[in-house]
Amino acid sequence: MSRTDDDALRAGAGAQESLDRALERAAAAGTLLVALDFDGTLAPFTADPGESRALPEAQSAMEALLQEQDTYVAVISGRPMAFLRSVVDPAGRMLLSGSHGAEVHLDALGDAAEDMELRLSPEQQQLLAAATALVQQQVARWPGSLLELKPTGAAFHTRTMDDQSRCAQAEQEMVEAFEQLDGLRITPGQHVVESSVHSATKGEGITAFMQATGADVTLFAGDDVTDENAMRELGPHDVGIKVGSGQSVAAHRVAGPHELAAALTRLAGLRAGR
């Protein structure tokens, strides 16, 4: 083994030890909030976004955490609330934030909870229609690309494009087209360019959950640039986990959804045994 390989092994072991300590600290919290992104975090990416599902191990870990006292599980996603309620949490036991923080569902807190209802002004509705038309034009130009309609925006997906070597070009063109529309928030991601007529972010979603639950410790995990808004809301005693590659303010990192599922399973075991 080379010295470089040896150094890499030590660094990996140190990172895992640091994450293990963070999970132990989170598990011991009086009130724990476990907030998670969906695509690329709980669920591997799929060609058809509608077919995406959380990994069985991750789903089992969330179910186990929900059994514990003073423990809340939240999903904070760019997905619309309808998808989160029907696919991610049909039993209605989780806190949900959809459309990048624009929709918040708090029914898991009890009868006193109220949803933060999403309302678009006439101007926002017009802007949404214009953004949707731009994505439709781009989809016609790039075979295999997809339009995803959301309550607050339109997303351009390139993961299914016929010519994968031109994804970056297609995404850049989409950004430039969106930039023609004043007031539209543009968020490039992994094989996607999202637009929104609403100014909400995932940071607002996680802040709402932290305040509503009174969490002593919040653990948040996410994989994309939009998740960094939530990471920045975490305090010094909270736990941020970046899933996959890319820059992040998170103190911890795992390679992908399977590794995160393993971390959630460990957290659930520690929480049960406290």
Confidence of residue 121 (pLDDT cuts 50, 70, 90): confident
CA dihedral 254, 256, 261, 266 (to 10 degrees): -20
- Rounded Cα distance between 226 and 74, Å, is 16
Q: What is the mean pLDDT of the chain?
A: 90
pLDDT at 201: 84
Taking domain 122-196, whether its CATH number is 3.90.1070 is answered by yes
The CATH number of the domain covering residues in 3-118+200-272: 3.40.50.1000
pLDDT surpasses 70 at 103: yes
In angstroms, what CA-CA distances link 74 with 85, 195, 202, 233? 12, 23, 12, 15
Mean pLDDT to the nearest integer, 36-43: 96
Q: Mean pLDDT over residues 192-209, rounded?
A: 87
The reported pLDDT for the residue numbered 9 is 44
| Cα–Cα distance measured from residue 43 to residue 230, given in angstroms and rounded to the nearest whole number | 18
Q: What share of the chain is helix, strand, coil (3-state, %, to 5)?
A: 45, 20, 35
Rounded mean pLDDT of 40-52?
A: 90
Q: Determine the average pLDDT of the residues in 2-23.
A: 68
On the question of pLDDT at 76 being above 90, the answer is: yes
Q: What is the pLDDT of residue 7?
A: 41
pTM of the model as a whole: 0.73
- Domain ranges in the chain? 3-118+200-272, 122-196
> Which residues are 36's β-sheet partners?
75, 221
Question: Which of the four pLDDT bands, split at 50, 70 and 90, describes residue 48?
Answer: confident
Highest mean pLDDT out of 102-106, 109-113, 193-197, 246-250: 246-250
Sign of CA dihedral 95, 232, 61, 67: negative
pLDDT at 111: 59
The confidence score (pLDDT) of residue 115 equals: 52
Provide the pLDDT for residue 8. Answer: 41
Which residues 6+ apart lie within 8 Å of 30 measured at CB?
70, 216
